[in-house]
A and B are shown apart, each in its own frame.
Chain A
């Protein structure tokens, strides 16, 4: 017979005012197996915890139910207390009398009845609890950072500087990400490349960092401390070891008119190319969709031009498997494209551009060498209209959130334009100016007050072309909605920041959650902002939600700190609430029949197989085996298993059954 102790907490008035705690404690004494039951004002307080410990020692309790607040609140507290009294911590359960009872019901008999039932449920459960030992797993002290933008670079450098190995993965041919495309950065207007490229170079040269560009994560299995990542290294068609980055091949390539992605379609590149002059690594890539060698089976000019014979048309993609202990997701963002806006012509007008295109126009290394020119005719615009919140905070566009960076970069864009063309006119349509950040509001004020950018509060309802001008029709809501019409030469849309392409697929591959928009979900919005719900996978930068550079860098450092903290230990301790395939004496060995229907139901690939052989080594039985390191304890396999050979520690069949039977 069990010896269960029940401890009913009043939580001050929180429980006590609607539940008759004394009565609940008295009724619990009548429950079979309960040998001790008492109530107290604050069970979580020191004296409260001492009561529990004392009862365990004096009464020889073999199970404890604390009827108090939500177990999500104080379960660790009471489990610790119980273990300090020498009882296995997993022999303690909590009945949620506060959040699920006293706070949601009035003071009536039925509330006290319900409280009693809730305790009874846990009493029956705890009788069937088993002492559990934490699971220890080793840690592979190498991190995988996915994404080679500023977030990934920073995270990789911070981890590498702590003397841990890092694999930095980038899907494009070069590190740099969106930051490499930017002209100047707010609020200091320092040149983006000037501050980023040294970091890129440092990352590439760092002895602890293995750089893998033009590569993507294909498959991930494993668990915190013990991931196995399969990486697809795409063929550049260049022998990276031989290539010196001299660039002769680039000049000889006859296919020149390919829209240049780095320049956001505003420039051209060749079929063999380096995305931008400061690319890291500085090794070209052959774009086989456009290369004549692959399209027409002729042309080998690059081969002839190459002084080191580094061109490898036959080169194939490689799949590389690496063991890593932690993963930082820094996959960045994309922006909504201007063709998403019917009211602005669905992208039909070439002079309606998005923010990243403007960055390229303003960049000294851009297609116009930093001179702002209209894409349509190359003329320098005399009037530019900037539209903030293009798509953001717009439920109809599926983007209910604020993209956060647009207010600042729009001010920056207007300011840059005014610096380049002091006589030009710059208008900004905005909904609200959100410039919360160090020196941010000052920056916007400067644009307005010093540089004469005209801010109009209101939305633009329509843009159309007339006589070579873009007619921007809007309203000034500060002037009572007075219609405003501006004849502009160019319009810049500060389009919404969105999760990167393929992010949801990646999330699924690595088993992390996404929010409703597809941004990676953090484990807790406030208290665990750089962790995901999958242990060992951390977040940095705009893949989680829109962020500016300082925030991104700070978060990357935070994620790196988490990785380094994880790697500071040799072994990892995990909660033992995992599933297990039962064992029986021979000749049965287990109730598992080896149908492996559970295998695909497991979200973590934690189910493998085990063979049982007889004394002569002959195969007797093949059955499922759950890797306790991989298992996260969801219990989907338990519900799938027909023979009930699988059970889940902490939520076992016997425990749940007993709970139901107590009702």
Chain B
């Protein structure tokens, strides 16, 4: 029997809030599903939209992008710049027909270990429900003779 589908979730998080928040989830021993792989960056300001694009190209079924709440950025405004970038990127993805349900943006602070666990579980469940992102994954290798 084929193995049931398990989504591949890639997360891009900032070091100071969400990474620390995920640490707190661990310290608090709150359980969540193991599908997620976290890539640590200093700040959401560092998260180039090309990272997201590349994650899909590697077959991610879902992506989480998370950092400090507005006003809490360790670098004072990196997250505000990131927010604008996402506002445009999100809009453009929608226009190009990329499935917006596959990307979740969120703010998780260093104190929100519980929120992190809930977020990961919600996203994992939602993406499992959606199934593999075949629409995008079909592109991999397509157009090569």
Contacts and interface: CB of A to CB of B under 8 A. Distances in A.
Does B associate with A?
yes
B85 A104 contact: no
A621 to B, nearest CB: 24
A110 interface: yes
B134 interface: no
A610 interface: no
Interface in B35-64: 35, 37-43, 45-49, 51, 54-55, 58, 60
Interface residues of A, number: 51
A335 interface: no
A100 B75 contact: no
A503 interface: no
A584 to B, nearest CB: 21
Interface stretch (A280-288, A382-390, A491-499, A651-659): A651-659
A486 interface: no
A162 interface: no
B34 A110 contact: yes
A601 B8 CA distance: 32
A156 B8 CA distance: 56
A632 B34 contact: no
Report the contact-size class of chain B (Cβ under 8 Å from the partner): 35 or more
B25 A104 contact: yes
B124 to A, nearest CB: 12
B48 A638 contact: yes
A215 B34 CA distance: 56
Contact of B74 (A73, A96, A513, A659): A513
B39 A105 contact: no
Contacts of A110: 6, 34-35
A104 B73 contact: no
A663 B8 contact: yes
A405 interface: no
Interface stretch (B76-84, B95-103, B137-145): B76-84
B46 A648 contact: yes
Contacts of A521: 72
Nearest to A524: B110
B42 A635 contact: yes
A71 B38 CA distance: 13
B48 A639 contact: yes
A475 B132 CA distance: 61
Given A117-B37, A639-B48, A656-B41, A634 B26 contact: no
B15 to A, nearest CB: 8
Contacts of B31: 104-106
Given A636-B78, A656-B41, A663-B55, A72 B34 contact: no
Contact of B43 (A70, A636, A650, A663): A636
B42 A634 contact: yes
A98 B76 contact: no
Interface string B1-41: 00000101010000100011011111101111111011111
A516 B70 CA distance: 10
12 contacts: A105-B31, A108-B34, A110-B35, A114-B34, A513-B74, A533-B74, A636-B45, A639-B46, A639-B81, A648-B46, A663-B8, A663-B58
Interface of B: 6, 8, 10, 15, 19-20, 22-27, 29-35, 37-43, 45-49, 51, 54-55, 58, 60, 71-78, 81-82, 85, 117
Which 6 pairs from chain A and chain B are nearest by CB?
A635-B46, A99-B26, A636-B45, A634-B75, A103-B26, A634-B43
Given A71-B40, A639-B46, 6 more contacts: A103-B25, A103-B26, A104-B32, A648-B42, A656-B39, A657-B54
